[in-house]
Amino acid sequence: MTLEYKHQNFYEAIEHNAKVSPKKPVIFIGDRKVDNLRFKQKIDTFARFLEFSGVKAKDKVAMIVGNSEEFMISLFAITKIGAIVVPINTFLKREEFEYIVNDCGAKILISSSSFAKETKNLLYSTRVEKIVWTDEYDGLDEKNYSFVEIVGSMETHEQISNPPKLDDLACIVYTSGTTGKPKGAMLSYRNIFSNVISGTRAFKIDEKDRFLVFLPMFHSFTLSIMVILPVIVNSSVIIVKSVFPFANVLKQALLKRATIFLGVPTLYNSLIKAKIPWYFMWFNKIRIFISGSAPLSEAVLNDFSKKFKNAVLTEGYGLSECSPAVAVNRLDRQKPLSVGLPLESYEIKIVDDEMVELPVGKVGEIIVKGDCVMQGYLNRPDATDEVKVNGWLLTGDLGRVDEDGFLYIVDRKKDLIISKGINIYPREIEEIISKYEGVDSVAVIGVSNETKDEEVMAFVQPKENTNLDELRIKKYLKSHLANFKIPKHIYFVEELPKNATGKVLKRVLKEQLSKQS
């Protein structure tokens, strides 16, 4: 089955919304709301600034921006002029930002001032020519600009000389692998629109829906399904800048009449246990709770449905290389422990190491085909060729399909760790720890906790006659890695288990920990 595409690019939908319903709110944030017409005007103005700054079609513009109206305006202004948006994980540190910004060759950086400590020096260590600060910043000059001043002072500009086409590159999402540095998954308008169309149909989305966005907008699922999709279908986005305190998330959901809620399993587990005010349970309008990033336990599914009787909690599966959604349980058809059926127009197969399709119920690697599959990895044709074969994407995940076509995730072929919905790759952490004085060798693994989320653990083999301290190593790591990558525990061992070729047997380490628990 093939999809029909109404738009060639995002801006066509924004123009349409401003024309047919100019006063309809597209964004709710705090006590403010932004209607379609004003949203378009701000996009036009910021796009004009980018053009004046020399940004052309196919140039990259990086974003290190928290959840905000500015994030959304920037995203659609960058793509309006045919440039490519690069949303970056805001939890990273300077060295990590530097690598990604250099790898994509970003010309302009848009940053929240709360990240200034880690981002301001990117002007000197990368090819970035200007930084636009989305909120108050003291050091404004010819290379540092204020987003508020730009949007408030420049003329709008509605003409596009060469509007982006369906198969042009729209976005580069950096994804974690199990080896080396992050890779930039190149996503076209067709890739993302295929997710938007299929997601809209699967969840029966219409203009009346309101999406509550508190998970980071840079995350591929939040970006496609909770930011771009609502704008394309002319529904609304409720922006919550922080998940803390969580009572505020629930307050915004209630006051702004949210209907679509995206979370991760640990959050739903907490909601089941939490004492939620009766008036929230009585008056909230949420009809769909969506879960991703890690498996939901059957107990959580059952307990959640008992507590929230007027809504459906549905689980899905995806990866950044697939824009990102691949499969989802339907509102009227789902199975516990399954991640659902493939989205409309996508194909899923379970194959062995020779790419031969396996029978129903057999475990093998999940491969995906459809308009969601990325164009490839930026600057990495070798890595692209490893995962794209005859139009199929090799996910590296192990799964099985039942007789009704429902997909079940069994395990990961790779060592990828997923913690609270964020991908973490062990080798990066291992490389940093190995540089610490006195470390002979190291292995990093992910261990599932009681909520099925994964926690980072490290095993360190010290050099002979060396005493290492866990707290000192963690302090060292804090200056080199994002906090979510720092191991919860560091275990010191006389010798790491290895096979005949010297490869560390991480399976053995996981077994050792499971025996201790």
pLDDT in tens, the chain (517 residues): 689 999 999 999 999 999 999 999 999 999 999 999 999 999 999 999 999 999 999 999 999 999 999 999 999 999 999 999 999 999 999 999 999 999 999 999 999 999 999 999 999 999 999 999 999 999 999 999 999 999 998 677 667 778 999 999 999 999 864 446 899 999 999 999 999 999 999 999 999 999 999 999 999 999 999 999 999 999 999 999 988 888 999 999 999 999 999 998 878 988 998 999 999 999 999 999 999 877 787 888 899 999 999 999 999 999 999 999 999 999 999 998 899 999 999 999 999 989 999 999 999 999 999 999 999 999 999 999 999 999 999 999 889 999 999 999 887 676 778 888 787 878 889 889 988 999 988 999 999 887 778 899 999 999 989 999 999 999 999 999 999 999 999 999 999 998 654 568 888 898 888 887 6
Using alpha carbons only, how large is the chain's radius of gyration in Å? Answer: 23
CA-nearest of 415, 377, 423 to 503 is 415
**Whole-model pTM?**
0.87
| Cβ atoms within 10 Å of 369's Cβ, excluding its own | 17
One-letter identity of residue 245: P
Residue linked to tokens 């309008």 = 285
**Distance of alpha carbon 241 from alpha carbon 31, whole angstroms:** 13
> How is the beta sheet containing 489-492 ordered, strand by strand?
439-448, 454-462, 489-492
Structure tokens at 210: 């309101």
